Chain A
Amino acid sequence: MENLTQENKNIRINIEDLNVYYGQKKALNAINMEIKENEITAFIGPSGCGKSTLLKCLNRMNDLVPDFNMSGKITLDGEDINKKYNINDLRKKVGMVFQKPNPFEMSIYDNIAFGPRVTGIKNKDELDKIVEESLKAASIWNDVKDNLKKSALALSGGQQQRLCIARAIAVKPEVLLMDEPTSALDPISTEAIERLCEELKEKYTIVIVTHNMQQAKRIADKTAFFYIGELVEFGETHDIFKNPKEKATHRYVKGKFG
């Protein structure tokens, strides 16, 4: 039964023969993978394995890196993200949450309203509604509802990260990319974010890069293991952790290296 529902899910992102170079250095080699909707897909692997690089290809964040180069094709809902999409429209559809919480030096309200304002929403009532909905969706509304005019920098690290998730949601994306979203947080905040991810996957396709294997095990439906720029193994999370096919995967998930 579980298999059946899995099969019914649509492929959201398709990566074909992706090679990534930073100058002369090859960062990713011949990556092929499919990311399905309403699932959490985790990228794991030791530092420098290319997992963050791949994540940043998905919303073209790498375009900011001067000597970045890629070949191959990435599609979102069947359309090539490098050709069919305007870069800013792509990023509205594919939101991102960063490793270090990065709220702007503005009020909580203005942080959340930033994205909607970019899309041209000026109506105060509409913005109020989006701000409230987004903060609720990121389960931080109760913490901040009386202090929306306060600086976002006054929040704790965990609250800041949830604020950043709310800010990403406010643009109404379809895919949420998370680059080690809990690595700078304490265990309690980490748990709150993980619970949040599981709620959010009902509405969004989530791709999360994590250093923490237990985290992948806890929340991810699919897990991809990367090693030195290669996608070594990709499949159901429990398979990756219980019955890995590749020796490298086995050694990594058992904590032998990395």
Chain B
Amino acid sequence: MSKSVILRSLVYLATGLTFFSLIGIVLYVLIGGIPYLSPELFSWNYNSENVSLMPSLVNTFLTVILSLVISVPIGILAAVFLIEYADLGVAAKSKIVRCFVSVIRIAADTLAGIPSIVYGLFGMLIFVTFFHWGYSLLAGGLTMAIMTLPVIQRTTEEALISVPMNYREGAFALGAGKLRTVTHVVLPTAIPGILSGVILAIGRVVGETAALIFTAGTVAQIPTSVFDSSRTLSVHMYNLSVEGLHTHEAMATGVVLLIVVVIINWLSELVANKIRPVK
């Protein structure tokens, strides 16, 4: 057998494994879950009879929105500072700034690599205990914000780096200042990259369990204030599975979770196309 035949079969094998493991998981969840999708699962109030996922679904959206409202602006602004001002700006000449920047980068990289349970522990000790917020939507949302901040910041940095230098030069050559160049030329060009970071962050929040059990708690009700405990879909699935009484409903919840993720990705794509000046 020649080298290229071996290589080719390896490539096919890898592609096949990736494809079939995805299809396998999706099919398994769909087949296991769809038969148990019943109207009661979507009733507004949860009880142990209907094991409704509706409150958890609403809580998932609330947690995602709350965390993104905090982490997206901060992450993007931090990345803009690091790339446009610290790396490319006049500040790049200063040794203190460079030192400061490398500390921020190390911190962000470390944060991105920390297991989520550590965020949960931190969130519990600070937000739940120290601030006396209790298990709450707010504590969970803030913990998720901290967890997704490095994701947003790093992907935005990558997106800004990939904006060609000559776009900036072009804008400067027309007499545009730094701020205008960043807001009108660089950021619009970087939107697709930034958005992929946002989707990644949404994915992390939607899929999170450990950190949320410690901070947002497990009450399956639509909260009336940010200080109410709120169970998200993933936590809901975890609880149903752990109790062992409602594994079918857990599968059905999985189906809904899958659909939610697909819808979120599709919506983000739509938003990106709306924001971008031209296609």
Residues of A within 8 A of B (CB): 59, 61, 64, 66, 88-92, 95-96, 98, 100, 102-107, 110, 114-115, 118-119, 149-152, 164, 167-168, 171
Contacts and interface: CB of A to CB of B under 8 A. Distances in A.
Q: Which of B93, B173, B189 gathers the greatest number of chain A CB atoms within 10 Å?
A: B173
Given A95-B174, A98-B169, A104-B167, A151 B185 contact: no
Size bracket, chain B contacts: 20 to 34
Contacts of B166: 98, 100, 102
Interface string B148-186: 000000000000000010110111111111001000110
B25 interface: no
A118 B183 CA distance: 12
Contact of B169 (A61, A66, A92, A103): A61
Interface string B20-57: 00000000000000000000000000000000000000
A189 B53 CA distance: 63
Contact of B174 (A100, A107, A152, A171): A171
B169 A88 contact: no
Contacts of A96: 173
B279 interface: yes
B244 interface: no
Nearest to B277: A106
A149 B180 CA distance: 21
Nearest to B89: A64
B176 A104 contact: no
6 contacts: A61-B169, A66-B92, A91-B174, A95-B174, A118-B174, A171-B175
Contacts of A167: 170, 174
Contact of A114 (B92, B93, B171, B189): B171
A92 B169 CA distance: 13
Nearest to A107: B278
Interface string B246-279: 0000000000000000000000000000001111
Nearest to A90: B175
Given A66-B92, A100-B166, A118-B180, A105 B173 contact: no
B188 A92 contact: no
Contacts of A168: 173-174
Contacts of B169: 61, 64, 98, 102
B109 to A, nearest CB: 24
Most chain B CB within a 10 A radius of its CB, from A114, A115, A167 = A114
A115 B189 contact: no
Nearest to A99: B166
Most chain A CB within 10 A, of B166, B177, B184, B278, is at B278
Contacts of A100: 166
Contacts of B276: 105
A168 B172 CA distance: 11
Contacts of A102: 164, 166-167, 169-170
A64 B170 CA distance: 12
A151 B175 contact: no
A77 to B, nearest CB: 17
Given A105-B189, A114-B171, A118-B175, 5 more contacts: A64-B172, A66-B93, A106-B278, A115-B176, A171-B174
